[in-house]
Structure 1
Amino acid sequence: MAYNRPPPPPPPSSRPPQSQHPSPYQGSDRPPHPPPTPANTLLLQSFEWHTPSPHPTTGQSHYVHLTNLLPSLVENLGITHLWLPPGCKANDPSGRGNGYDCYDLWDLGEFDQKWRRETKWGSKEELMVLLEKARELRVEVIWDAVLGHKTAGDEIDLGEDGSGVWAVEVDGNDRHHELCPPKEIHPWLKFNFPGRLNPSNSNPASTFQWNATHFSGVDWCDREKRNAIFKLISDPATHPRPNPSQLPFPIPGRADGGLNRFVRFAEKVLPRGKQARRPGRGWAEDVDQSNGNNNYLMFSSIDYTHPTVRSDTLSWSRWMITTTGISGFRLDAAQHISRSFLRDFIATSVSTHRDHHAGKDPFIVAEVWTPEVANQNTFLDGVTPSPDVLVRVFDTPLLNNFARISADVVSSSPNADLRTILLNPSDPAHASLVSLRPTQAVTFVANHDTQAGQSMETPISPDLKVLFYAFILLRKEGTPCVFWGDLYGTQGPHGVGPACQVPTGDGGRSTRSLLPTLCLARNLFAYGEQRDYFDESGCIAWTRAGTWDREGCCVVLSLGGRWTGKRMWVERGRGERWVDLLSRRRVSVGADGWGVFEVKGRGAGVWVREGAEGVTRFAGGLEGMGRE
């Protein structure tokens, strides 16, 4: 075994000042009634893309499975928040869309619609049992809210005159670029909800029925029997395009409201900001601007400029909080939704939750896929209704940094550098959100979109996942989210077992996952001030000092191919033995507080005081550890 041997311990005068490593209160320094340190937050995504959910008649739906599993998740992993999959009525009865093909927000598996009563995940009754169990265990449930689109309308909408709905086909790479003159299409945009809005349901939570005026775009024209991106527009007779005042010089249109050849050329060569915009209905402008305008994502895109649409969706947020008791929302595909509407949605959710939960704020986290942190900052600034409201987003720039480092390691690139995990000085645009806005970052290593075969597949070397999970779980900044597929394995055509696997050490081929160990370590030992040792490209480390009532830890991550060590100083536990929860090795820390904490190549080490409360909860009580 080899490691970077440290220099001799420094004299006491050169030790890190205690202000950098606050010690636990001792003796007369202890306040008479110190407030307890709250447990660390840990969010679990409770599904992967191919999670099965047997029919409720079997008593084995995913809701039932989660209800039975929840006590163990709390006790053995320290889960505090549970992200449920989209549980509103969807289109596909097989459940292949997992609820993201949303049909009716107001049906939680209660009404006979779209070929079945329950959702893929179970019935409303099973959902309510799960939510009651979560309240009993003080677990906050986060609802996956699909607000950007609907799918599978009940009837074709032929417009007021019965001839169709005005639309233009647009370029998928530039949604402002129209590919044809205005025409009337036949979209499936009448949502009547016959299973919910019928005489047998005498008091529906919402009576709103949708039609084409409530949408901005669709992907299917039944008249033409084909898919495309169709932007819904106002009648071109009253709202023609182009509008010459929006261009740098007059460009003639055609009598039918279409585009002449010069206009088509101008649209391609003029700067995007100077292209004509068709007046009247169209895309929301306060959205992500990739693809010219990224308001449209899929299916039938909802138009939140319509006052009734806004009102009904805001009422739904109040209804969900007051009738189910959920503790927050995950905002699906948030970058495609009007920021002004999301700001109102968040404000309504916060106000309602505070009123019904003794002033406590809900947990709001948005999905905003982007490699550039500036885009996430812009989104957060645009949707936060007031300074006293905390809105979070998933830290996709950090995930990209994980993937970049993984690719460098796999290719044996000399650029592999753990010191750039938060911020690469040569590429500041791709800094992680957690490095800039730690309270607003939800950190993650994988999810249902990044797993193999999915739309945002993000390959990460299996032997490096333990490093990245240790990074998000044991640091002070950010709120970590653990992926169901990494905890229990994924199914489907690219299925794999649980992540962070290591040999059990019994001489056979059996393995165990270190991810549950890391989760429990967060719950028991990841507290107090943090000191970083980011001084080597292949090995970084940090210490957590602990608090008066919670333990700290030392964490070492290594990309190298052999054992290495990091010399670090600790306040608590001087002169004591420390143990690595992952490798089961021991080390003695000197009376001066300095110790060398070792880790194997491409591995992680999580060191805690051997006498710390909770150590015996780990594998084998940490008995039979290796030599010091």
Structure 2
Amino acid sequence: MLSHSATNMAEDNKVPTEENATMLQAFEWYIPDDHTHWKRLARDAGKYREIGITAMWIPPPTKASAPSGNGYDIYDLWDLGEFDQKGSIATKWGHKDDLVALANVAERAGVLLYADAVLNHKAAADETERCRVAEVDPEDRTRFISDPYEIEGWLGFTFPGRGDKYSSMKWHWEHFSGTDYNSENEKTAIYKILGDFKSWAQSVDNEKGNFDYLMFADIDHSHPDVKKDINDWGIWIAKLLSLRGFRFDAVKHFSEEYLAEFISVLKANVHEDFFFVGEFWKDSLSDMLAYLDRLDGHKFSLFDAPLVYNFSQASKTESYDLRQVFDGTLVQARPIAAVTLVMNHDTQPHQALEAPIEGFFKPLAYALILLRRDGYPCVFWGDLEGISGEFKEEPSCGGQLADIILARKLYAYGTQDDYFDYATCVGWVRRGTWDRPNGCAVVMSNAGEGEKRMFVGEEHEGEIWTDVLGWQRGEVHIGADGFADFKCPATSMAIWVNQVPGRDQFGTFKAGKGFGKE
């Protein structure tokens, strides 16, 4: 038996349990183009941190083709809202000074920043240039459907508002592999640019024969000038904003070989533990796993698109078998590389990849990504704060998504015991750790009222547990054997927790006003 001093030494040698990491996608598609979003995020960064947000994925901070552009219509990597270009100085999200201020506030609050990097294409060129092309079949980009000829393409990027500040590179036709418009005859098509050493990138998705081309002027990442400029930009913006990660847009469409190079450059010049996640939006687990295998060694993650589609199907299918909700998902197959999510700016209502999830199922879906062991969960701004504009929606989960996030921060630790033994009612228990001992019991139903007899541990004998959401009334008394019967309302869920410190924080988050009592 250990002596008292030896026992204390054993306790001292235990590794403290790190707080659960939770990412916030800190925007949605329809946020007003009032150029003040960086200020909004700076205002609320500390409040998000209080409920358990440890990182924010911010929208593309680079100059778009128009003042209202969300940034995926990217014009200039080096303009973060500093130069009078494309109709305004600020980007849709704000001025560069506000962005830098946000970075400083986030760092003080302990919130990491991940920037959205749009590296596949450029839009809104300053000049047309003549180049030699051939049209390709939109459904098979490896098949030519015209003889070679010249077009007048929008391919000259001279950045007159910025000049040579930060970068002196000007982009011309030779820096691109394809485009979609001939201004000479106003014809829209997919034009493959021809020339010495010109080809579609080969390390891309093979959908449509070769999916290098997506939109606008498609960047040729094999060109040495292109690689140097983007690599230099990555180092510059990462250091300027103290970034700790990038979200890469449209990774199916540009060179995996170049992406691996960019990652290596960032790790060597900025931070070895940089976080990288790609938007490889495809409902094919095998394709996702193959992509990750090809990037082996680069600690790369992908958003779990199959999980989103499972959630959508589950919400629309009567008596869906909840035991199958993780089947065919990345988080099930390779949890260390999975960023789990319920919705994002592409799948939200009226967007190109819309994946509707019925309102009753949103809390269940968020519990499945936030309160379980596997995956790195990403919360969508539109669910936490609501969706603006023509398609306005109130915050999901009855306005209590913040409480589910807070439950992750406080209680979702330790061993996970699953009770996935009934099609329409499942549950699980997180048993806690030596220094975060409280744990939680979660039960959910997509049909009638749910009930699960679950084991939380004999050490909890006599404790009184209640639902932190307040959706299931009453109390549960933990028996001498460590078991109790946990319930939830019909088509709903409950998060059962002991009456412990932190309970007074639940129910105080106000959408649009951040966290805190008024």
Report TM bin, short chain: over 0.9
Deviations 1:3-37 (A, max 9, x none): xxxxxxxxxxxxxxxxxxxxxxx976952243321
Which residue is 1:63 aligned to? 38
Corresponding residue number in structure 1 for 2:189: 228
Matched AA of 1:605: A
CA separation in 1, counterparts of 2:418 and 2:59?
Answer: 36
Give the structure 2 partner of residue 341 of structure 1.
258
* Paired position in structure 1 for 2:225: 308
Shift of 1:353: 2.7
C-alpha spacing 1:449/1:548, structure 2 compared with 1 (3 Å): same
- What's the counterpart of residue 187 of structure 1? 153
In structure 2, how many angstroms separate the alpha carbons of the residues matched to 1:27 and 1:418? 43
1:155 aligns with 2:127: yes
Deviation at 1:281, TM superposition (A): 1.7
1:389-428 paired onto structure 2 within 5 Å: 389-409=298-318, 416-423=320-327
Check the 8 A contact 2:461/2:481 in 1, yes or no: yes
Q: Give 1:73 shift.
A: 1.1
**Contact 1:371–1:396 (CA<8 Å) still a contact in 2?**
yes
Deviation of 1:401 (Å) = 1.0
More strand by share: 2
Aligned pairs for 1:141-152 (under 5 A) are 141-152=113-124
Contact 1:340 1:382 in 2 (8 A): no
Pairing 1:438–2:335 present: yes
Aligned to 1:576: 463
What does 1:20-419 align with in structure 2 at a 5 Å threshold?
31-55=11-35, 61-75=36-50, 77-93=51-67, 95=68, 97-158=69-130, 165-197=131-163, 204-234=165-195, 280-354=197-271, 361-384=273-296, 386=297, 389-409=298-318, 416-419=320-323
Instruction: Give the drift of 1:195.
Output: 1.2
One-letter amino acid matched to 1:401 = N
Tell me if 1:599 matches 2:485.
no
Compared with structure 1, are the counterparts of its residues 191 and 619 closer, same or farther at alpha carbon in structure 2 (3 Å cutoff)?
closer
1:172 offset after TM fit, Å?
1.6
Q: Distance in 1 between matches of 2:105 and 2:198?
A: 46
Moved more, 109-118 or 81-90: 109-118
Amino acid corresponding to residue 580 of structure 1 in structure 2: D
Aligned equivalents of 2:365 and 2:311: distance in 1? 7
Candidates 406, 416, 421, aligned match of 1:535: 421
2:21 maps to amino acid: T
Tell me by how many angstroms 1:383 deviates.
2.7
Deviations 1:443-472 (A, max 9, x none): 000011011110000011111111000100
The worse-fitting range, judged by mean Cα deviation, of 176-185 and 30-39 is 30-39
Q: Return the offset for 1:563.
A: 1.6
4+ aligned runs moved over 6 Å, structure 1: 26-29
Deviations 1:147-166 (A, max 9, x none): 000001111112xxxxxx11
Q: How many residues align?
A: 500
User: Equivalents in 2 of 1:459, 1:619: separation in Å?
Assistant: 26
Q: 2:444, 2:450 within 8 Å by CA — same for their partners in 1?
A: no
- The Cα offsets for residues 480-524 of structure 1, whole Å up to 9 and x where unpaired, read as 0111111111123322111112xxxxxxxxxxx121110100110
Paired with 1:339 and 1:619, the residues of 2 have a C-alpha distance of 45
Amino acid corresponding to residue 393 of structure 2 in structure 1: V
Give me the whole-angstrom Cα distance separating, in 1, the residues matched to 2:316 and 2:215: 31
1:21-58 CA deviation, whole Å, 9 max, x = no partner?
Answer: xxxxx976952243321111110011110001424xxx
Contact 2:100 2:240 in 1 (8 A): no
Deviation at 1:601, TM superposition (A): 1.1
Check conservation: 2:235, 2:266, Cα contact below 8 A: yes
Structure number with bigger Rg: 1
Residue 479 of structure 1, CA deviation: 0.6
Q: Which runs of 5+ in 2 are unaligned?
A: 1-5, 510-518
Please give the per-residue CA displacement for 1:160-190, whole angstroms capped at 9, x wherever unaligned: xxxxx11111222111122211111110101
Distance, in Å, in 2 between the alignment partners of 1:620 and 1:496 is 20
Name the CA distance, whole Å, in 2 between partners of 1:377 and 1:456: 21
Q: Distance in 2 between matches of 1:601 and 1:174?
A: 49
Taking the aligned partners of 1:445 and 1:383, their CA distance within structure 2 comes to 25
**Runs of at least 5 residues in structure 1 that lack an aligned partner in the other structure:** 1-25, 56-60, 159-164, 199-203, 236-279, 424-430, 502-512, 622-628
1:619 counterpart = 2:507? yes
Aligned partner letter, 2:323: R
- Give distance in 2, aligned partners of 1:321 and 1:514: 34
Native 8 Å contact 1:445 1:482 kept in 2: yes
SS of match in other structure, 1:453:
coil
| CA–CA distance in structure 2, aligned partners of residues 195 and 537 of structure 1 | 60
AA paired with 2:55? H
| Counterpart Cα distance in 1 of 2:376 and 2:389 | 29
Are 1:321 and 1:352, in contact at CA under 8 Å, matched by a contact in 2?
no
* 8 Å contact from structure 1 (residues 346, 383) kept in 2: no
Asked whether 1:525 is paired with 2:411, we answer: yes
Distance in structure 2 (CA, Å) of the matches to 1:396 and 1:98: 22
CA distance in 2, matches of 1:579, 1:619: 14
Partner of 1:498: 395
Task: Sort the Cα spacing of 1:585 and 1:228 in 2 relative to 1 into closer, same or farther, 3 A.
Answer: farther
Q: Distance in 1 between matches of 2:174 and 2:53?
A: 43
CA contact (8 A) 2:400 2:507 kept: no
C-alpha contact (below 8 Å) 2:24/2:381 kept by paired residues: yes
TM-fit CA distance, 1:532: 0.9
Q: Which amino acid aligns with 1:569?
A: F
SS of the residue 1:309 aligns to: helix
Q: Partners of 1:442 and 1:620 in 2: how far apart?
A: 27
Cα distance in 2 for partners of 1:296, 1:615 equals 51
Secondary structure in 2 matching 1:79: coil
CA distance in 2, matches of 1:602, 1:365: 33
Single out whichever of 581-590 and 97-106 deviates more from structure 2.
581-590
1:111 Cα deviation after fit = 1.4
AA aligned opposite 1:559: N
Counterpart of 1:316 in structure 2: which amino acid? W
- Whether the 8 Å contact between 2:23 and 2:54 is mirrored in structure 1 is yes
| SS, match of residue 496 in structure 2 | strand
- Distance in 1, matches of 2:422 and 2:266, equals 45
Q: TM-score, normalized by length of structure 1?
A: 0.77
Q: Given that residues 553 and 606 in structure 1 are in contact (C-alpha distance below 8 angstroms), is that contact kept between their aligned partners in structure 2?
A: yes
Give me the whole-angstrom Cα distance separating, in 1, the residues matched to 2:392 and 2:72.
21
TM-aligned CA deviation for residue 620 of structure 1: 8.4
2:335 equivalent to 1:461: no
Secondary structure, counterpart of 1:143 in structure 2: strand
Deviation at 1:392, TM superposition (A): 0.9
**RMSD of aligned Cα (Å):** 1.7
CA distance in 2, matches of 1:28, 1:591: 28
